[in-house]
Structure 1
Amino acid sequence: MHHAVTIAVAALAALFICPAGAEVLIGVAGPMTGKLEWTGTQLKRGAEAAVADINATGGVLGQQLRLITVDDFCDPEQAVAAAQKLVADGVVFVVGHYCSGASIPASKVYEAARVVQISPSSTNPMLTEHGRATVFRVCSRDDAQGLEAGDFLADQWGDRKIAILHDNTTYGKGLADETRKQLNRRGVTEAIYQAYVPGKDDYSAEIVALQAADIAVLYVGGYHTEAALMVRAARDRGYPVQVISGDDTATEAFALIAGPAAEGTLFTFVPDPRRNPEAADVVERFRAENFEPDSWTLHSYGAAQTWAQAVEKAGSLEPKAVIASLHNNQFDTVLGRIDFDDKGDLTTQSWVWYVWRSGEYVPVE
């Protein structure tokens, strides 16, 4: 009898020392299935690695983190449903979403629930222009990316025929429009500006039309799947159009789809965090697991790292305190030093040119 009482008392004591719910729930949201599954996996792997590393060093405020993954299919409605699920599950923070068209509608759900959201990769300016206090991002914006692309097109191909195609998504059209705006400011008018239908298996009809119009340069505002199919269709016809695109092209999946046609494709991406000394250990561990942390993997890791440091500096998980901490501190991460402006954007916007060479992307020298 005494033995049973002792066990019961010990169990009760344990409840007070480690209260149920001592785990802190956080979410990661992105396209975990479908054509962008590769990228969703990168977000998931980045967040998982960050959670494992944070937990190994004692968690946040002495509590362990648990990660919940949701699939938003890079779709606005599904993103809202995914955000609602995370909120219902009781998360206090979300790494995500990947696509701007998912992050923006989801941000309303998080704002209403006072859940902090840090996107690793949503580059459309409107994400932070809405002025939601809970929204941050650890990547640069498309108005800066479009400026870079528009200048490059004007400088290098101002006297040639340029086509700008976009997929009508928040990200793709937004980036195409920013690029076009800067190209036009520079006194160059594109020969073609039009939308294509995303998700098709073949873009040879679009390529035939560009070739007939004598287009020398194609700027693609959209995701890597379609850009890869376009460059492949062009090379299959022996058409040497220069394909240029944006940050979504920074993924091994582009080269897998495009094959040898990937060679020479140019695109803008943020400075590659795999080259950061601060990321060396994490990169090494990913590679030991046979996973290449390209594209936005380390941004996902860095988003979780930034939030965890903000919580520690605030000494609280209370949303208002964490938000103030994110605005008022600098954070040392795998992405380097992070600090936010009053909108939740990085104080320094940086885009770099890359080219596909022999199956990998390297900075343009």
Structure 2
Amino acid sequence: MSVFRTVRRGGLAATACLALAATLAGCGLSSDAASGSEDEIVIGVSLPLTGDFSEPGKGVERGYEAWAEYVNENGGLLGKQVRLEILDDQSSADRVASDYEKLINQEEVDLVFGPFSTRLVVPAAQVAQDYGFLFVEPAGAAEEVFTQGFDNLFYAAPAIADDHYNLLAEKILSMPEGQRPRSVAYATMDDPFAQGTAYGLKDKLEAAGIETVADEVYPPNTTDFSSIAAKIADTEADMVVGGTQYQDAVNLIVALQQLDYQPKLAAFSTAPTNPEFPEAIGSKTEGILSPTGYTPDASYPENQEFVEFYTDLHGEPPAEDEANAWTTGEVVAAAVEAVGCADPSQECQQQLIDWLHENTVDTVVGPLSWDAEGRPQSAHLIQQYVDGEIRIVLPEDQAEADFIPVKPEW
């Protein structure tokens, strides 16, 4: 089987095209030839289903699978059924690159979706760019994703990592002097996304004169947080900010609880949005903050359909990882339906890329549009645990509860 590929390595380009395929426009075959079926569109994905990022990776998998099932129940894409080809990259950057090479070259998928985590998105996006594939991704939000020169990449969420806490920074800086934190302790996973969220807030607070009294960075596989917690507790910081995924945030909070450290404000990336989070830290959640690009209570028509369908499948509403995966599917589907193709040819893939650069897509996280590097042009919401429930507190015009300026206890 012959499908046109343009491979760039070290600035050199090599094209491969068999003589038979040379008679076809641009050497591109149709999706029927590429997938081996006239009745399906095959979408390749590599996800961290094991390893450091397996918890959110499985959430993304659930979101992708729910989206595919929904699409297939509603007529498919271009009248064809969607089939997902999902590989486990084991949270490895080397493995994720080889997975996308395999999906494109050996499995000959028609389209690809992105993985979870900036660490995995960058190498995966490079492979997609090398082969000229559209690359929409649900969870690579660090600024470094958008400075690699990718013109095929689009992030399917409202804001990049550095901007996740923008609304919280504005709120803190508007607080009366007596309530505003004067010192902040930061603890971040050595991960571009996690650090991007925490340091985006750090830069804004430091610029306003709020002192950084601790800045701890730890490897992704860290499980013992006793020494980091001790350093933070010794500072008696008014606020603690965690650039976290899931289990690391749980372990850090438990370690801080054991030291009876009580900040006025506490904010953690990702973890508080996980349904298992309250039980994992002993249900002492009151006042904890987190940025989120998604709430199941959003009034967008697309979201209402999503929540109903997903809840019927799983018995509970979707979380942010599932929503961003579903959004990835929505974005790709919008381009496919608008352009009228879903195949691995250079012509089709470039048409999909060009269409997304020029258009806005209605999704479960709201309308999305992108700059030239794939940054979404919107803002994250801020959630806080209020009376035992996580609620949107910022911006005020979308708030489900009032922002708690001083955290009672955890």
SS of residue matched to 1:198: coil
Q: Residue 226 of structure 1 is aligned with which of 216, 239, 248?
A: 248
How far off is 1:184 after superposition? Answer: 1.9
Q: Residue 352 of structure 1 is aligned with which of 358, 376, 381?
A: 381
Q: Aligned pair in 2 of structure 1 residues 249, 36: CA closer, same or farther (>3 Å)? A: farther
Matching of residue 304 in structure 1 with residue 329 in structure 2: yes
Matching of residue 335 in structure 1 with residue 359 in structure 2: no
Task: Give the whole-Å Cα distance in 2 for the aligned partners of 1:266 and 1:29.
Answer: 31
Q: Residue 144 of structure 2 is aligned with which of 116, 123, 126?
A: 126
| Amino acid aligned to 1:363 | I
Write out aligned runs for 1:187-202 (5 A): 187-202=209-224
Output the TM-score relative to the length of structure 2.
Answer: 0.77
Partner of 1:313: 338
Residues 31-89 of structure 1: CA distance to partner in whole angstroms, max 9, x if unpaired?
21245433222211211122122223332223221101122333322322332232232
Task: Give the whole-Å Cα distance in 1 for the aligned partners of 2:374 and 2:230.
Answer: 43
| Amino acid aligned to 2:155 | R
Partner of 1:363: 392
Task: Give the whole-Å Cα distance in 1 for the aligned partners of 2:171 and 2:115.
Answer: 29
Q: Aligned pair in 2 of structure 1 residues 274, 106: CA closer, same or farther (>3 Å)? A: farther
Partner of 1:32: 49
Runs of 4+ in 1 over 6 A off after TM superposition: none
Unaligned runs of 5+ in 1: 1-17
Output the TM-score relative to the length of structure 1.
Answer: 0.86
Partner of 2:84: 67
Structure (1/2) with the larger helix percentage: 1
Partner of 2:287: 264
Matching of residue 94 in structure 1 with residue 112 in structure 2: yes
Residues 110-143 of structure 1: CA distance to partner in whole angstroms, max 9, x if unpaired?
1112222111222112222323122111111122
Range moving further from structure 2, 336-345 or 37-46: 336-345
Q: Residue 288 of structure 1 is aligned with which of 308, 312, 315?
A: 312
Task: Give the whole-Å Cα distance in 2 for the aligned partners of 1:101 and 1:286.
Answer: 28
Range moving further from structure 2, 70-79 or 316-325: 70-79
Unaligned runs of 5+ in 2: 1-31, 343-347, 394-401, 403-410
SS of residue matched to 1:223: coil
Q: Residue 203 of structure 1 is aligned with which of 225, 237, 259?
A: 225
Q: Residue 302 of structure 2 is aligned with which of 270, 278, 281?
A: 278
Task: Give the whole-Å Cα distance in 2 for the aligned partners of 1:68 and 1:93.
Answer: 10
Q: Aligned pair in 2 of structure 1 residues 346, 174: CA closer, same or farther (>3 Å)? A: closer
The percentage of counterpart residues that share the same residue type is 22
Q: Aligned pair in 2 of structure 1 residues 75, 178: CA closer, same or farther (>3 Å)? A: farther
Task: Give the whole-Å Cα distance in 2 for the aligned partners of 1:86 and 1:274.
Answer: 36
Task: Give the whole-Å Cα distance in 2 for the aligned partners of 1:29 and 1:358.
Answer: 39
Contact 2:152 2:353 in 1 (8 A): yes
Q: Number of residues paired by the alignment? A: 347
Q: Residue 55 of structure 1 is aligned with which of 68, 72, 80?
A: 72
Task: Give the whole-Å Cα distance in 1 for the aligned partners of 2:208 and 2:294.
Answer: 25
| Amino acid aligned to 1:96 | G
Task: Give the whole-Å Cα distance in 1 for the aligned partners of 2:296 and 2:45.
Answer: 20
Range moving further from structure 2, 350-359 or 166-175: 350-359
| Amino acid aligned to 2:307 | V
Q: Aligned pair in 2 of structure 1 residues 137, 321: CA closer, same or farther (>3 Å)? A: same
Task: Give the whole-Å Cα distance in 2 for the aligned partners of 1:248 and 1:137.
Answer: 20
SS of residue matched to 1:191: strand
Partner of 1:83: 100
SS of residue matched to 1:106: helix
Q: Aligned pair in 2 of structure 1 residues 153, 33: CA closer, same or farther (>3 Å)? A: farther
Partner of 1:141: 160
Task: Give the whole-Å Cα distance in 1 for the aligned partners of 2:287 and 2:181.
Answer: 20
Task: Give the whole-Å Cα distance in 2 for the aligned partners of 1:261 and 1:152.
Answer: 23
Q: Aligned pair in 2 of structure 1 residues 27, 180: CA closer, same or farther (>3 Å)? A: same
Contact 1:162 1:191 in 2 (8 A): yes
Q: Aligned pair in 2 of structure 1 residues 293, 359: CA closer, same or farther (>3 Å)? A: farther
How far off is 1:155 after superposition? Answer: 4.9
Contact 1:28 1:43 in 2 (8 A): no
| Amino acid aligned to 2:340 | G
Q: Aligned pair in 2 of structure 1 residues 315, 47: CA closer, same or farther (>3 Å)? A: same
RMSD over aligned CA atoms reads 2.4
Q: Aligned pair in 2 of structure 1 residues 342, 159: CA closer, same or farther (>3 Å)? A: closer
